[in-house]
Amino acid sequence: MNTIADQVLVATLHGRKVVGGIAEGEALVTDAHISGWGGIDSRTGTIVEMRHPLRGQSFAGKVLVFPGAKGSSGWSNAFHLTRSMGVAPAAMLFNEMTTKIALGAVVTRAPALTDFDQDPLAVIRTGDWVRVDADAGTVEVIRRAEPPPGAG
Amino acid sequence: MKLNDDERAMADGRDGPAVQRAMNLLMRYGEALGAERLVDTNNVCGTVSATTPFMRDFALQKGGMDAVFSEFNLDSDDVVEIPPAKTFTSHLQLGFDPDNAELMGISDEVVKFYRKGEGYIAGHGIQLMNTCTPYQVGNIPTRGEHCAWMESSAVVYCNSVLGARTNTEGRESTGAASLTGKIPYWGYHVPQNRLGTHLIELDVEVTSTSDWGLLGYFIGEQVQDRVPVVRGLTAVPNLPRLKHFGAAAASSGGVEMYHLVGTTPEALTVEQAFGGNRVLETLHYGEAERRRAYEQLNHTADDHDVDYVMLGCPHYTIEQIWEAARLLQGRKVHANSALWIFTPRAIKALADRNGYTRIIEDAGGVLLTDSCSAMSRAAPKGTKVVALDSAKQAHYLPAILGIQAWYGSTAECIDAACTGRWSGRYA
């Protein structure tokens, strides 16, 4: 069983607020851009784009860490619908600012940050626990401690 | 973000709750972008329609089209009464052609709801162009004009060919812009962001419409969402070629702005196209690159029996309908195949008068409006293999419908429709 002592704060990132608010959740990290319309299923929050590394995985309730948006101008609407369906990400952390992602993040209403002091794609791993305080501009990355050598 | 007195008054509620909600969204959006201010626009292209079952149910449960507009066009927390558009606003393509709903597999109930919505849209002063190519049917922005457009193929045409200024907007930002005449001053509204980043040298001639699709597909993949500058054209491309080129580059990459040296308005010379920018990379487009783009566009296809031919992505021009009609005259669409051609309503009216619709219908084809197979997810029943003359449609349709797609020229596609077989080849 995990105890607090097993959890280690491995990094704190600082970024610029895109959408304010505080949230935490498990990280879902991809180094591939995400398409909205035609790339996600808004009813389930699942990535459906052919050949996308996260194809078949849902971002519902997770902290989505990705380089940025691509594809159709229906991006914001596709993410807006995830909020309507209750399957929006808990927070969004990304590197490349575009109109698609800015509007998409705003209407998804999930806390969002960009312009980081460290690359979140390099620092955060899928499965990490991530605390996002977009108002303060901070992201805390918490990871289960590696067992000591010989343990287990 | 800095607001002027007029913007502040709208944000404070002077013009009613809907305009106040619209300003609130524009401020949140502008701050998210890091924009410092808004800019005036009197040219908006967006979508208001509710053609999916989810949207229809949302409207029925929450208070009609005002509820749809409040939530999905303004991101408002409450349902507010929506006043008529303040700015010139054009409606883009949508989920089906109401005049061919049965053919597209749409129920009467959805059509009835759509017809009501159409009355709402027109009643709010939004132009029912219902096309991805508003620049074909009366909305041709002036060079330098600030616009707020959705639809990636229209955005790239607006910026690059017309020299007007728009980012790729979304449903909510165009809704807010239509009620306020404002959009964040950011991205392609700012002159220095419109300058070239990559130089593309043409080592082969690019002449036919099909050629332009291949070039666009190559460039988009190479430069993603940067600004390519193409040098070495031997002939001036017309509207259908640039319509196809931009749509292809916006699909494989995300190009929203390009320059063709000597042709497009902000690139009379290479120096003008790049301004003070350093050339990040110089790429050559030769025989190998051309062949690779062709092979990528045809990679999903291996079955030569063609069930379906779709033309009109982006929506066909009258010249393209004329060409299709000439290619079809005296021939019949094969019993095992189907031919659907998509165009704006206004151009269909012209095709009707010119007699082209009759020629297409006599051959067994259908001329449709308002939509396309990618938008509607509709194709003739049982379609397994489609033939397309659009790189954009060939990029999207296999994923959307789970079918194979052949890409080639219009003549090859018409041949496929009339023989039921794909015999196109790399030329």
Number of compact structural domains in chain A: 1
The gap between the terminal CA atoms of chain B, to the nearest Å, is 54
Global pTM reads 0.95
Mean pLDDT, residues A15-30 taken together:
98
Domain membership flag for residue A152: no
Domain membership flag for residue A150: no
Decide if B34 and A97 are in contact by the 8 Å CB cutoff. Answer: yes
Question: Is 80 exceeded by the pLDDT of residue B90?
Answer: yes
List, as one string, the DSSP characters of B155-203: HHHHHHTS--B--B--HHHHHHHHHHSEEE--GGGSGGGGS--EEEEE-
Domains and CATH numbers, chain B: 5-189 (3.30.499), 195-296 (no CATH), 301-419 (3.30.499.10)
Domain membership flag for residue A115: yes
**H helix and E strand count, chain A:** 3, 12
Residues of chain B positioned with their CB less than 8 A from the CB of A16: 34
Torsion angles phi and psi, residue B156, rounded to 5: -70, -35
Of A19, A38, A73, the CB nearest to B32: A19
Q: How close B352 gets to chain A, by Cα (Å)?
A: 32
More confident residue, B53 or B91: B91
List, as one string, the DSSP characters of B62-78: HTHHHHHHHHHTT--SS
Token pair in block for residue B255: 């190009």
Of B33, B58, B170, the CB nearest to A97: B33
Task: Provide the residue range defining the domain that includes A45.
Answer: 4-144
Question: Is 50 exceeded by the pLDDT of residue B2?
Answer: yes
Q: How close B222 gets to chain A, by Cα (Å)?
A: 14
Of B72, B187, B396, the CB nearest to A77: B72
For the annotated catalytic residues of A, the residue numbers are 72
By C-alpha distance, the chain A residue nearest B27 is A106
Percent of chain A clearing pLDDT 90 (strictly above) = 83
pLDDT recorded at residue A94: 98
Pairing of strands B259-260, A7-14: unpaired
Band of residue A152 on the pLDDT scale cut at 50, 70, 90: very low
Give the integer Cα–Cα distance in Å for A148 and B403: 52
Residues in chain A: 152
Question: Is 80 exceeded by the pLDDT of residue A151?
Answer: no
Give the integer Cα–Cα distance in Å for B147 and B155: 9
Torsion angles phi and psi, residue B421, rounded to 5: -130, 145
Q: Kindly list the residues of chain A whose beta carbon comes within 8 Å of any beta carbon in chain B.
A: 16, 18-19, 38, 49-50, 70-77, 80-81, 84, 97-100, 102-107, 112
Q: What is the pLDDT of residues B374-408, one digit of tens each?
A: 999 999 999 999 999 999 999 999 988 999 999 99
Give the integer Cα–Cα distance in Å for B297 and B221: 12
Give the integer Cα–Cα distance in Å for A71 and B398: 16
Complex-level ipTM: 0.94
Domain membership flag for residue A85: yes
Q: What is the pLDDT of residues B272-289, one digit of tens each?
A: 999 999 999 999 999 999
Decide if A77 and B254 are in contact by the 8 Å CB cutoff. Answer: no
Other C-beta atoms closer than 10 Å to the C-beta of A44 total 14
Band of residue A149 on the pLDDT scale cut at 50, 70, 90: low
CATH number for the domain that contains residue A43: 3.50.30.10
Pairing of strands A112-114, B44-46: unpaired
Domain membership flag for residue A76: yes
